[in-house]
Structure 1
Amino acid sequence: MSYSMIATMMFSMMALLMATGQRVFAAIGAVASIAAILLWDTGGVELPFTAAMKLMNWYPMLTLPMFIFMGYILSESKIADDLYKMFHVWMGPMPGGLAIGTIALMVLVSAMNGLSVAGMAIGATIALPELLKRGYDKKMVTGVVQAGSSLGILVPPSVVLVLYAMIARQPVGQLWLAGVVPGLVMATLFIIYIVVRCRLNPQLGPVLPLEERQVSQAEKMKLLAAGLLPLGIFAVMMVPFVNGWTSLVESSAIGAMSALLAAILKRRMTKQVFENSLRNTLAISCMFMWIILAALGFGAVFDGLGAVRAIADLFTEQLGLSPWTILILMQLSFLVMGTFLDDTAMLVIVAPLYVPLVNALGFDLIWYGVLYTITCQIAYMTPPFGYNLFLMRAMAPPEITLRDIYNSIGPFVAIMVLSLVLIMLFPQLALWLPEYVYGS
């Protein structure tokens, strides 16, 4: 049997197992283990041990539980709620101001957590009811919350980029910095869209009533201080890292301790908050570690088959496709897979093929990590089975129907596609900041 046929059978078997509802790590790990034993007999038993050692020796992996814990502390202790109160008072007087504030809230929540589900939970349970109560168009604001929460996997400390870094064997710090400018560009485009739409049709985002705007300057400053606390925690964590004073792991520990200290000082650190934060941190961290372990094993078998070199030769030599054509086809395949898989499953399934292929085609793997993440954001909001669509349906108020959710995402998906095209045409949007920081 040819190596290409073995590789095809591995992917087919993995897809079949996942279609039966098996967990991602179980499907991938089982296929990798069985293939290794069948191909290399007793030598194949070394594969999981080697993969586990790679994972345990990867020092930056320690950042994962730290950042997840920080995000859950800020969320469970309701410190993140203060952000929305600040935007409510400061941006309510302008048309569409609360929707703009919601995008800003999503960016800050993303900088605290690194998971889109955290932004979705805060946006759907805190921001969305307030926007609807004040007469905002339900389709527009539903799209605002979904699009804003998707920034959680692009803006540092993105957990998805940590996973990509492990599989692609790239520095986490450079990947995080590479996501900063694209994330801000995308958020800015969201805000421009909201401003233009609300200028053309003020009924979509009416200003706050006069009685709600009549807040004393002292009260406004108090809300500003409370709302900027999470931003201060992020600054305390990231400034030393960017300046080279601390390592990435040390900065993650600073962030976790700062969030814990802030919750204690604000007298919001209860036993339930601490216990929920620890449980959620442990559950998500273990899930990602099992997935990475399975992905490393699968990638090792795939590398051993030499399938990547064979496929690269097929595309470039036999079919005559240009590197850019191959790259675009790869991105389109992510969009298709995103209709029925989450970002983690997508990356793990195709990483053994795509990451070496991107490298063989001469593209930068840091830049490609940003492209992959933006494509995941688009896939999150693509019907019929986009991840964020169903999260929104589960968390949104009863008056938001599934039809409303589907109808709300069109303009925001278009903005994400525009952002993806911009990053592809101008790679320095992603590469400038990591080159500047690490070059200096």
Structure 2
Amino acid sequence: MSYDLIAITMFASMMLMLLTGQRVFGAIGFVAVVSALSLYGVGGSDMAFSAAMKVMKWYPLLTLPLFVYMGYMLSESGIADDLYRMFHVWFGGMPGGLAIGTIMLMVAVSAMNGLSVAGMAIGASIALPELLRRGYDKIMVTGVIQAGSSLGILVPPSVVLVLYGMIARAPVGQLWMAGVFPGLLMASLFVIYIWVRCRLQGHMGPPLSAEERAEITWGEKLRLLQAGIWPLLIFFFMTGLFLMGVTSLVESSAVGALAATLAAIFKRRLSFYVLHETLRKTLTITCMFMWIIMAALCFGAVFDGLGASRALEGFFTGDLGLGPWEILILMQLSYLIMGTFLDDTAMLVIVAPLYVPLVGALGFDLVWYGVLYTITCQIAYMTPPFGYNLFLMRAMAPPEVTLADIYRSIIPFVAVMVLGLALVMIFPEIALWLPENYYKN
């Protein structure tokens, strides 16, 4: 059997295992270990051990539990609730104002967490009940929360961009800065869509009544602005110090975790329950990431050892005769398909070792491609039948929100995200202007 055929068999076997509903790390790891033992005999078992040791010695991975801890500390301590109240008061008077405030809340949460899971949990537990109680259309608001939470993997400090930077050997600082404008662009497109939709169809997002607005004094509005101070301080101490070169990547994540804890202490909300829930959820998410990364590293070692990267490049450029942009679009489409049944980390550690060398060989900027990959993951998270966010929303939504409602809710937001992806592909400066100008000085 040729090496190309072995590589295809491995990849097909892994996809088949994943479609059976097995845990991601189990499916990937099983195919990797069986392939290693079949190809290299008893010595192949060293590949799994080597992958485990590589994870244990991968120093930048320390950022993962610290960023996750920071996000859950802010959520469990109620600081995110304060933020939502602020947006509720300031934007509730306009059509769709509470939904627009929810998007802004998600941007703030993304800038303090770096994962979509935390944003989804905060949106479903804080924003969704309030939006439904205020008479907002249930289909629209479930789409708002899913779309807003997806910003967590694009806006810095994105954990996905950190992992991409490790695999692509791209500087994390440049990747974070490259995600700023695309993230704000995506959030702005969401806001414009919500405002236009609710302006044309007032029943979709009714504003606060005149009586409710009259009850909110300017003094209360100004007082509630204080809720935004803590997130800004945490973001500055974490991301700002890193970009200024004062702290390293790992140190900045530690600073962010410490700042979130101090904020909870200062607001007198750090109880034993809050600390216990934060640590429990942090451990759960971190272990999930670690197992997937370890299994994927083992799979990648065997897969790449067969020359799969070179074979893929030859297949696209030689056998099919495709141009660089055609190959790039095909790669993005493959991510969309895989995103229906894989999470972003699994897609990254499985396919990025194959695609990243090809992207470099085609002459594309790896920092720019990191942003494209992340936006594509956002879209894949929300595409049926097995989009990751769809099932998270179903698990967290009240009974009156059915799975059919959730599927229908994402259609316009996916269209908006495809528009955002197209804009970043057509105008790479949206992603590259900030890192190029910042690091030039």
Please tell me the TM-score bracket, short chain as reference.
Answer: over 0.9
- State the distance in 1 between where 2:175 and 2:323 align: 26
Q: Conserved in 1, the CA contact under 8 Å of 2:142 and 2:409?
A: yes
The residue that corresponds to 2:109 in the other structure is 109
Check conservation: 1:110, 1:151, Cα contact below 8 A: yes
Report the CA distance shift for 1:100/1:5 in structure 2 as closer, same or farther (over 3 A). Answer: same
One-letter amino acid matched to 1:280: K
Deviations 1:117-174 (A, max 9, x none): 2111211221122122222222222211111111111112222223323333333332
Match for 1:100: what amino acid? I
C-alpha deviation, 1:43, in angstroms: 4.5
Partner of 2:8: 8
Q: Which amino acid aligns with 2:376?
A: T
Letter in 1 for 2:193: Y
Kept after mapping to 1: 8 A contact 2:165/2:172: yes
Aligned to 2:246: 245
In structure 2, C-alpha distance between the alignment counterparts of 1:27 and 1:384, rounded to whole Å: 20
- Deviation of 1:286 (Å): 2.0
Matches within 5 A, 1:152-171: 152-171=152-171
Q: Quote the residue 1:351 is aligned against.
A: 352
Does 1:322 find its partner at 2:323?
A: yes
Name 1:150's counterpart in structure 2: 150
Distance across 1 between alignment mates of 2:292 and 2:404:
33
Contact 2:112–2:235 (8 Å) recurs in 1 = yes
- 2:216 is aligned to 215
Residue matched to 2:394: 393
- Contact 1:63 1:253 survives alignment (8 Å): yes
Match of 2:413 in 1: 412
Helix, strand or coil at the partner of 2:206: coil
So what's the TM-score if we normalise by structure 2?
A: 0.94
Q: Secondary structure, in 3 states, of the residue corresponding to 1:399?
A: coil
Q: Which amino acid counterpart does residue 375 of structure 1 have in structure 2?
A: T
CA shift at 1:87, angstroms? 0.7
Runs (4+) of structure 1 exceeding 4 A deviation are none
Q: What pairs with 1:111-130 in structure 2 (closer than 5 Å)?
A: 111-130=111-130
Cα deviation, residue 49, structure 1:
4.0
Q: Could you list the per-position Cα deviations for residues 328-367 of structure 1 after superposition, in whole angstroms to 9, with x for gaps in the alignment? A: 1111112122222222332333233222222222222222
Matches within 5 A, 1:291-302: 291-302=292-303
**Equivalent AA in structure 2 for residue 244 of structure 1:** G
8 Å contact kept, 2:296–2:346: no
In 2, the alpha carbon distance for the partners of 1:370 and 1:391 equals 24
Matches within 5 A, 1:11-410: 11-41=11-41, 43-213=43-213, 214-410=215-411
Aligned amino acid, residue 113 of structure 1: N
Matches of 1:291 and 1:151, distance apart in 2: 22
Residue 19 of structure 1 and its aligned partner are, at CA, apart by 3.0
Q: Structure 1 residues 245-254 or 27-36, which shifts more?
A: 27-36
Name the stretch that deviates more: 46-55 or 140-149. 46-55
Alpha carbon RMSD of aligned pairs, Å?
1.9
Taking the aligned partners of 2:29 and 2:307, their CA distance within structure 1 comes to 19
- Determine if contact 1:36/1:45 at 8 Å carries over to the other structure: yes
Deviations 1:365-422 (A, max 9, x none): 2222211111111111112222212222221223322222222222111110001111
Deviations 1:83-128 (A, max 9, x none): 1100111111222211111100011111112221211121122112
How much does 1:12 deviate?
A: 2.1
Name structure 2 gaps, 5 residues minimum.
none
Q: Which amino acid aligns with 1:395?
A: M
Conserved 8 A contact 2:157-2:239:
no
Q: Are the aligned partners of 1:163 and 1:292 in contact in 2 as well (CA < 8 Å)? A: no
SS where residue 111 of structure 2 aligns?
A: helix
* Whole-angstrom CA distance in 2 between matches of 1:389 and 1:412: 13
Q: Secondary structure at the match of 2:110?
A: helix
Question: Aligned partners of 1:226, 1:308: CA distance in 2, in Å?
Answer: 49
C-alpha separation in 2, matches of 1:400 and 1:359: 44
Structure 1 Cα separation of the partners of residues 75 and 434 of structure 2: 29
Letter paired with 1:309:
R
Q: For structure 1, which segment, 282-291 or 184-193, has the greater mean C-alpha deviation from structure 2 after superposition?
A: 282-291
Superposed displacement of residue 4, structure 1: 0.1
**Residues 1:174 and 1:49: Cα distance change in structure 2 (over 3 Å):** farther
How far apart, in 2, do the equivalents of 1:293 and 1:403 lie? Answer: 36
Q: Which moved more, 1:54-63 or 1:325-334?
A: 54-63
2:93 is paired with a residue whose SS is coil
Look up the equivalent residue of 1:291 and give its one-letter code.
Answer: I
